Chain A
Amino acid sequence: MKTAFRYILACATLLIALAPVYWLVTISLKREVDQFTYPPEWIGFTTTFQHYASAFRNGSFAHYFTNSVLLAALSTLAALVFGVPAAYGLARFEWPGRWSENIGNWILSTRMLPPIVTIVPLFLMLREARLLNSLFGLAIVYTAFNLPFVVWMMRGFFDEVPREIEEAAMLDGETRVGALLRIVLPLVKPGLAATAVFCLVVAWNEFLFALILTQTESAMTLPVGIASRVTQYEIRWGEMSAAGVVAMLPVLVFATAAQKYLVRGLSLGAVKG
């Protein structure tokens, strides 16, 4: 009997976790007249896709969506391109004293910086470089954002690959870089994939930097686009929720795929599991 109770409790918690999301989806599919009816309708309402149409086909959300996609992809790629070699360098080479640990910790600590500390100068710096309101500028910032993550995660994965494998390859005539590309990377593919997903999700969800560094329509990302509408006087909730639903779908898909590695990345590898 106790088992049944536990399952019921777990289901209840699951419901609480998912209900708000479900509600958002229903709002996006309800006609405006149905959205705020009393009593609230959870099922059995007339569905309409007009909000999706007006947000994306007629409205600017399609543009924001594209911006977000580009931004996430670019910054993730850049973070990997710079971060993976750095992680490899830290994991594989001889470092004097405790450099390796210290550099690692230092890289890690940049993650602990409250963004608000760096945002003021970053804003000023980007303004000077005329990179405000540009996807490129934001991508650079996001890359710096994701670098510590990438270095920390990938270093852990590299540490798990025995050195002997590359040493055997190099004895066979392979170069360091070649060994990394052809031997080691294929072995850490799942870790690499998980790290990439992480960076994508972080970039996709990011709000503060995007808010401050992109103020023009052309450069806005999805979160900023949504926020800009919500703070207006007349809020078109249908469009808002449609945009919200679209904003959350890619994340859910990706993150569920990388579920196993969520813990490791979130706890920065500190919990062995």
Chain B
Amino acid sequence: MKSRIPSGLPWVLPALLILVTLSIYPMIYSVKVSITDASGAFTLANFIRLFQDRLFGAAAVQTTVLTLVALVIEFVLGLALAVLIDSLARARSVFRAGLLVPMLLPPVVAAVAWRLIYNPQFGVLNGTLRRIGVNTAPLTWTSGENSALLSVILVDVWEWTPFLFLLLSAGLQAIPPEPIEAARIDGAGAWRIFRDVTLPLLKPTVLLALLLRAMDLVRIFDQIFILTQGGPGTATETVSLYIYRTAFRFSNFGYAAAMSFVLLAATIVFSRGLMRLMRAR
């Protein structure tokens, strides 16, 4: 009599239990928290408030802007770097090791470094610029309302372009050389080969890289916390920072939970869409 229980189950069970307890259960608990009020009754007040909350809307906009801008810049730079380093005959591994450093640091440390660098009066960035004659008065970086978001984006670009570089580099190396050689013989020049053969074959890696990075960008927290704490004002307050403030400064767990869910839903929708794109071809 064959047992209906898969024989591998005991191996997997402990891990599954841990995950269920610490990932699934909290999520369910979270749902409960978001739809109950102080007395324990069912209420949709949190979600209703969400739609009317201008601060949340602003946070959502800022998160989207940050995600898209950072993603595009990191992708283009990462691809350019991958092609560049790939084309070098020697010292490739040295360059690669060095380029990975920004990505490996604790994000907190990277943020501390950049906070130092960005200081408008004493930071080395403005210091160096002043030295070569640039007027640094209007360059307020993270202290200025209009420049703060961009400054944060720049830090993320510095920190995470290596990630895209690494992924795209691996993708490039996985492309078989024969179609490229055939294109050379067929008469195509370097740019043509890149456009007609390399890029199309790189598509799955590209989509994967974009997906992974977008997931992380949407929930960005560490760097902003250190660099600007969401300020000046709310100029760099992304959704995760707003949720943090709501939950742990104002102790409004229900509302925070509701917001988390909207964030999760958005993440799932976006990733599904991207994954479908990945499978299409």
Binding site for B on A (CB under 8 A): 3, 6-7, 9-10, 13-14, 16-18, 20-21, 23-24, 27, 35-36, 38-40, 82-83, 85-86, 88-90, 92-96, 99, 103, 107, 110, 112-125, 140-141, 143-144, 147-148, 151, 201, 204-205, 207-208, 211-212, 222-223, 226-227, 230-231, 237, 240-241, 244, 247-248, 251-252, 255-256, 259, 262-263, 266-267, 270-273
Per-residue CB contact flags for chain B residues 88-121 toward chain A (1 = under 8 Å, else 0) read: 1100010111111110111111101111110101
Select one of B85, B100, B158, B261 contacting A117, CB under 8 A. B261
Verify A14–B264 contact, CB threshold 8 A: no
**B66 located at the interface, meaning its Cβ lies under 8 Å from any Cβ of chain A in the complex:** no
Q: Find out whether the CB atom of A117 lies under 8 angstroms from the CB atom of B263.
A: yes
- Once the chains bind, are A205 and B107 in contact (CB under 8 Å)? yes
Chain B residues lying within 8 Å of A252, measured Cβ to Cβ, are: 101, 104-105
Contacts known (A40-B128, A83-B15, A231-B229); A21 close to B105, Cβ less than 8 A: yes
Minimum distance in angstroms from A243 CB to a CB of chain B: 8
Query: Which of B88, B97, B219 is A10 in contact with, Cβ under 8 Å?
Result: B88
Smallest CB-CB separation from B10: which chain A residue?
A89
A39 proximity list for chain B (CB < 8 A):
127-128, 130-131
Q: Is B33 an interface residue (CB 8 A)?
A: yes
Q: A39-B131, A207-B225, A266-B163 are in contact. List 14 more A-B contacts (CB 8 A).
A: A6-B87, A23-B113, A83-B15, A85-B12, A89-B9, A90-B8, A119-B247, A120-B247, A141-B22, A207-B221, A248-B105, A252-B105, A262-B166, A272-B174
Partner of B22, one of A95, A122, A201, A271: A122
**Segment of B24-32, B42-50, B142-150, B181-189 engaged in the interface with chain A:** B24-32
A17 to B169, CA, bound (A): 17
The interface of chain B, by Cβ under 8 A from chain A, is 6-12, 14-16, 18-19, 21-23, 25-27, 29-30, 33, 81, 84-85, 87-89, 93, 95-102, 104-110, 112-117, 119, 121-124, 127-128, 130-131, 158, 162-163, 166-167, 169-171, 173-174, 204-205, 208-209, 212, 215, 218-219, 221-222, 225-226, 229, 240, 243-244, 247-248, 253, 256-257, 260-261, 263-264, 267-268, 271
Closest to B17 in A: A82
A270–B99 CB distance below 8 A = no
A18 to B210 CA separation, bound complex (whole angstroms): 24
Check A85–B106 contact: CB distance below 8 A: no
The answer for the CA separation of A9 and B108 in the assembled complex, in Å, is 29
Compute how far the CA of A125 lies from the CA of B26 in the bound complex, rounded to whole angstroms.
Answer: 8
Count A-B pairs with CB separation below 8 Å: 268
Beta-carbon contact of A114 and B167 below 8 Å = no
Which of A38, A92, A227 touches B225 (beta carbons < 8 Å)? A227
Q: Could you tell me the distance between the alpha carbons of A256 and B113 in the complex, rounded to whole angstroms?
A: 21
Across the two chains, which residue of chain A brings its CB closest to B246? A120
Please indicate the chain B residues that have their CB under 8 angstroms from the CB of A95 in the complex: 6, 8
Whole-angstrom distance between the alpha carbons of A113 and B267 in the complex?
Answer: 8
CB B213 to nearest CB in A, in angstroms, measures: 10
A120 and B11 contact, Cβ closer than 8 Å, known pairs A6-B87, A273-B170 = no
Task: Assess the B8–A89 pair: CB atoms within 8 A.
Answer: yes
Give every chain B residue within 8 A of A23 (Cβ-Cβ): 113, 116-117, 124
Question: Could you tell me the distance between the alpha carbons of A141 and B22 in the complex, rounded to whole angstroms?
Answer: 7
Q: How far is the CA of A207 from the CA of B95 in the complex (A)?
A: 28
CB of A117 within 8 A of CB of B260, answer yes
A17 engages B85 (CB within 8 Å): no
CB distance from B158 to the nearest CB of A (A): 7
A-B residue pairs in contact (CB < 8 Å), sample of 18:
A10-B88, A23-B117, A24-B109, A27-B116, A86-B11, A90-B12, A114-B218, A116-B219, A116-B260, A117-B27, A121-B33, A143-B18, A144-B21, A207-B225, A248-B109, A252-B101, A259-B93, A271-B208
Q: Are A208 and B221 in contact (CB under 8 A)?
A: yes
Known: A18-B98, A226-B109. A144 touches B19 (CB 8 A): yes
> In the docked arrangement, what's the CA distance between A83 and B171, Å?
28
Taking a contact as CB atoms under 8 Å apart, the answer to whether A148 and B19 are in contact is yes
Which residues of chain B are within 8 angstroms of A125 by Cβ–Cβ distance? Answer: 25-26, 29
B251: shortest Cβ distance to chain A, in Å?
A: 11
Q: Please, how many angstroms separate the alpha-carbon atoms of A27 and B167 in the complex?
A: 33
Please measure, in the bound complex, the distance between the C-alpha atom of A97 and the C-alpha atom of B170, giving whole angstroms: 33
Shortest distance between the CB of B136 and any CB in chain A (Å)? 11
The 5 tightest CB contacts between A and B, nearest first, are A89-B11, A93-B8, A36-B122, A144-B22, A86-B15
